[in-house]
Amino acid sequence: MKLESYWKHSAPAFAPASAEWPAKVDVAVVGAGFTGLSAALALARRGATVAVLEARGCVAAEASGRNGGHVNNGLAVDYPALAARIGTDGARAWYHAFDAAVDTVERLVREEAIDCDFQRNGKLKLGTRPQHYDELARAADRLRRDGVDSDLDVLDAAQVREEVRSERFSGGLVYRKSAQMHMGRFSHGLAQAAERAGARIHLDTPVQTLKAQPGHVGVHRLHTPRGVVEASQVLLATGTSRHGSYASFGWLRRRIVPIGSFIVVTAPMPAEHAQALLRERRSYTTVANIHHYFRLTPDHWLVFGGRARFAVSSPQSDARSGEILRQGLVETFPMLAGLPIDYCWGGLVDMSADRLPRSGVREGIHYSVGYSGHGTQMSVHMGQCVAARMAGESTPQPWDGRGEWPAIPGHLGPPWFLPAVGLYYRLKDRLQN
């Protein structure tokens, strides 16, 4: 079992074009995940000089390359509860932002001819208890009634069993606008596209400190081991990264919690076995706080993930979480008990307190973070949106106008409280079930 991301291992390694260290640029992008690469592409297309500064030795090194391969529409929070809190119009707009985000990914794949197995097979949200079916049916009815999403299908337990070879599920809700793709090949293609447009990507270049240049409005100095670069504008697209000084990046860190999510990939199955297992080859996710998500690759590997443990990712932590996921996989699909696990890895989700993204400008520095496990599509979309804002365009931003963003109480560094959070959600799932 390889303790590494299947997406990165099965994709070509991106090698940046050689470039001299820039003394000055129009825009410095901190982080070469999907937000940073998407923004770099959009800004370079507009004629800006762009330097992407990535702490790790590859693009999409963190959440962008360490997820389950889903490109899903739909919110990370309950739509009716959100509508009750902010109003139907606001909740509808945020739901549609995720629809637009999937469209953005598809558009870039098409425009840049990125070979990443992008497929709109839809998503099936699965209930594991009888009451979940009723909840999913009510959610679908509310989404239709509010004019939010009419492209939905509610499946009962028998209909789910026709599609998913498992006795575990009580029903499901199909979201037809959702998609999936190979994350490693997408990131490779997106990085190549950004470079073709004129952006320069510098790997192994952590930003240690970020300071405004005294006496020079709109000039920022970014200090790295390779040297200093001055930028008229800066985009922080760092997710949960802990690189750089707390003085420079602490404001974001106090507002984002890094939550581990873990994934295993089985050995490939014969084509007929894979087709019998998941007939429609959608993306699948279960209804729970400690949930599972899974899908097939085009060449018949099963990608199966979940929260597993409330812990950060490390080789030891990934291996322990992998064993928990193996148990969950066999409980879901007993016929796969003897199928080997070929890959196991973990990643960090940049979770906001309300599980909704945050994007804005603070002290002249742009940021977009907090995708809360729904970042594949939204990060790409927000890279495009933030680039438009940085270019001075009046394009509406999906997450503007959200008001103050308070720090998470007691969160000053490492997430010491994760075990307690995990215990809370496990108890909540048990009581709800």
Intervals of the chain under pLDDT 70:
214-217, 289, 308-313, 413-433
Residue 132, both tokens: 């979940």
Residue 172, both tokens: 């499901």
Q: Are strands 227-236 and 257-266 parallel, antiparallel or unpaired?
A: unpaired
Residue 284 lies in a domain: yes
Query: What CA–CA distance (Å, rounded) separates 238 from 62?
Result: 9
Nearest alpha carbon to residue 61 among 226, 207, 239: 239
Residue 217 lies in a domain: yes
Q: In this predicted structure, what is the pLDDT of residue 396?
A: 85
Q: In this predicted structure, what is the pLDDT of residue 311?
A: 64
Q: In this predicted structure, what is the pLDDT of residue 310?
A: 57
Cβ atoms of residues 178 and 74 within 8 Å:
yes
- Beta strands per DSSP E along 12-161: 24-30, 50-53, 70-71, 123-127, 152-156
| Sequence-distant (≥ 6) Cβ neighbours of residue 226 within 8 angstroms | 21, 202, 205
Residue 1 lies in a domain: no
Residue 403, amino acid: G
Query: What CA–CA distance (Å, rounded) separates 44 from 282?
Result: 35
What CATH number is given to the structural domain containing 218? Answer: 3.50.50.60
Residue 428 lies in a domain: no
Residue 433 lies in a domain: no
User: What is the count of structural domains for the chain?
Assistant: 1
Q: What percent of the chain has pLDDT over 70?
A: 92
Residue 323 lies in a domain: yes
Q: In this predicted structure, what is the pLDDT of residue 222?
A: 97
Cβ atoms of residues 202 and 18 within 8 Å:
no
Report CA torsion sign: 407, 259, 388, 103.
negative
Residue 431 lies in a domain: no
Residue 429 lies in a domain: no
Which class for 130: exposed (0-12), middle (13-18), buried (19 or more C-beta within 10 A)? exposed
Cβ atoms of residues 142 and 149 within 8 Å:
no
Q: How far is CA 326 from CA 137, 301, 342, 415, in A?
A: 30, 14, 11, 26
Q: In this predicted structure, what is the pLDDT of residue 424?
A: 46
Three-class SS state of 106: helix
Q: In this predicted structure, what is the pLDDT of residue 431?
A: 53
Q: Which long-range contacts (CB under 8 A, 24 or more apart) does 10-13 make?
A: 10/182, 10/184, 11/182, 11/184, 11/185, 11/187, 11/188, 12/185, 12/188, 13/58, 13/188
Q: Domain residues for 351? A: 6-423
Cβ atoms of residues 265 and 341 within 8 Å:
yes
